[in-house]
Amino acid sequence: MGRRSANSSGFSLIELLVSLAVGALVIGSAVQIFTRGLNATFVVSQRAQMQQDLRATSDLLFKDLSLAGAGLPSATGILLPSAAGRPIYGFAPSCVAKNNCIPGGGIAYPCTSVAAVPCNPTLYGLIPGWQLGITVPGSPNRSDVVTVVYTDTVFALPCYTIQAITATTVIVQLPAPLPATCILTPPLVAPQAVNAPAVGLTPGDLVLVQSTVGGNSATVIAEVTGVAANGGGNYTVTFAGGDTLNMNQPGAPAASLTQLVCGPAPAAACPATASTTRIFATSYYLWMLPDPLGVGAGTPTLMRQVNGQTPVPVQEGVVNLQFTYDTYGPTGALLNAVGDGGYSTGTSFNLIRKINVVHLTTRSQVSGAKSGLMTTNGYQTFDTQTSISARNLSYQNRYVVAP
C-alpha cells in the first residue's frame, strides 16, 4: 500500500522552488504593471488638472487684456494727482499682513513720459510692468506685471446724478424717472444701490468722476473710503485722503476732487453731465505662495488684484509671466515686441496695438518614482504663447471723445 509508483509521485523540492520562482516573477511583473498604471493615472490626472487650470487662467487673463481701456474717456491717459506723492496700483490693506502683493507693496503709476519733469502720474488703459514682478527662485529674469484698466458695465453707477462734490465726498442721487442715458444690463430694471453688498462700492474701489470745469471736461480718479446711505436713493461716497492707493489728494492743485467742487449753494450747481463710473484697475503678477508646512521657498502663484481689494490667487505653479507689446515709435513707425511698451522711447501706453504673451508657464511637480515616466523628470510643464489685440486702446486712439 505504501509503495508509490513513479507516476503518482508529487513535485520534488527543486521543482517546487523553481516553480515558485517563476510564479514570483509573474506576480512581480504584474505588480510592476499595476504600480506603473497607478503612477500613470496620477501623472495624467495631474496633467489634466494643470491644463484645466491653465485654460481657466488664460481665459481670465486674455479677457482682461482684451478689455484694456474699455470705456475710459481719455485717449491720452488720465492725469493723477501727485502733490502728496505718486498714486500706486497693485496694493491692498490686506497686503501688509499677508504680504501677497506686488513686491514693494504697489507700483507707482507711470509718468506721462519717461523724460517728463516733473512726473505727471497717469493712468492708462494698459500699464506694462516690465520686469517689475518677483524673480521666481532659480530664474535669471524678473517676471512681468501687467495692469489693465476698464470701466464696470454691470454696476449702474453712471445712472446716478451728482448732487454735490466736495474735496473728499461725492453725493449721488438716484433720479426718477431714469434718464434715457441710463443703460441697464438686462435683467436689471433699476440701478443697484450704491452700497449694495455684492456689486456696490466698497472701500478700495476706484471711481472715475467726470465733470466740467470752466467749460472743459475734467476727469478725476478717486478711491472710495466709505459709503453712507442717506435714504431715498441718496448716497454719500467718501474719498478721504490717506487712502491705501494714495489716489485721494484733496490738497493737490490738479487732478483731485477739489477742482471739481460743485453742489449746494454757495457752490455752483453740478453740471447735468457730471457722472461717476466705477473702474477696475486689475493687476496680474507672480507671488511666492508660502508652503503650508514651511518647506522650501513656496509655490510661485499667479495673483490677480483689483483696485485696492484683496489679491486673489488665480493659479498655482506659474513660474513665468512675460509680455511684450506692439506699439508705435516716436516717429509713428511700428515698434514691435518691446517689453516696456515703448516707454523708454517716450511713447504713450495708449498707443499699444497688440499684447504678446511671451510666456505664461505653469508647472506641477511629479514626485519620487512617478518622475520616472516623464520625459521631464521632476516637473510637468506647460507654456502658452499668444497675442491679444488691444482692441479698446486702438479704438480709443482713433476716435477721440470730443470734450
Partner 1 sequence: MRAGSKMAFKPHITGTQRGFTLIECMISMVILVIGLLSLLGVFGIAMASTQTSQQNNTAKQLANEAMEGILTARETANITWAQINNTGGAGGIFLPGFQPIDCAGVDGIIGTADDAACGPQTLELPGPNGVFAGNCPGAGPDTCLPLTNYTRQIQILPVFPPGGGPALSTLRQVVITIQYSTPQMSIPRQYILSSFISPYR
Q: Which of 33, 56, 228, 400 binds partner 1 (CB under 8 A)?
A: 33
Pick between residue 18 and residue 267 the one whose CB is nearest to partner 1.
18
Q: Does position 324 bind partner 1 by CB under 8 A?
A: no
Please state, in angstroms and rounded to a whole number, the distance separating the CA atoms of residues 302 and 282: 13
For the beta sheet containing 226-231, the strands, ordered from the edge strand earlier in sequence to the opposite edge, are 161-165, 169-173, 234-238, 226-231
Place of cell 523708454: 344
Q: Which of 32, 76, 273, 344 binds partner 1 (CB under 8 A)?
A: 32
Distance CA 199, CA 195 (A): 8
**Residue with Cβ nearer partner 1 (305 or 397):** 397
User: Binding of partner 1 at residue 185 (CB under 8 A)?
Assistant: no
Beta strands in 51-176 (DSSP E): 78-79, 88-89, 107-108, 122-123, 126-129, 145-151, 161-165, 169-173
Least separation in angstroms between CB 338 and partner 1: 11
Q: Which of 44, 127, 130 is nearest to 340 (CA)?
A: 130
341-380 mask for partner 1 (x: CB under 8 A)? ------------xx----x-x-x-x-------xxxxxxx-
Under the binding rule (CB under 8 A), the answer on residue 25 touching partner 1 is yes
Name the strand (E) or helix (H) holding 237: strand 234-238
- Is 296 a residue that touches partner 1 (CB under 8 A)? no
Contact partners, residue 53, CB within 8 Å, separation at least 6: 315, 316, 362
Q: Check residue 381 for interaction with partner 1 (CB under 8 A).
A: yes
Query: Would you count residue 11 as binding partner 1 (CB under 8 A)?
Result: yes
Q: Which is nearer to partner 1, 136 or 281 (CB)?
A: 136
d(CA 379, CA 371): 8
- Told to check if 142 binds partner 1 by CB under 8 A, we report no
- Site residues for partner 1 per CB under 8 A: 7, 11, 15, 18-19, 22-23, 25-26, 29-30, 32-33, 36-37, 40, 43-44, 47-48, 51, 54, 136-141, 319-320, 326, 334, 336-337, 353-354, 359, 361, 363, 365, 373-379, 381-391, 394-395, 397-398
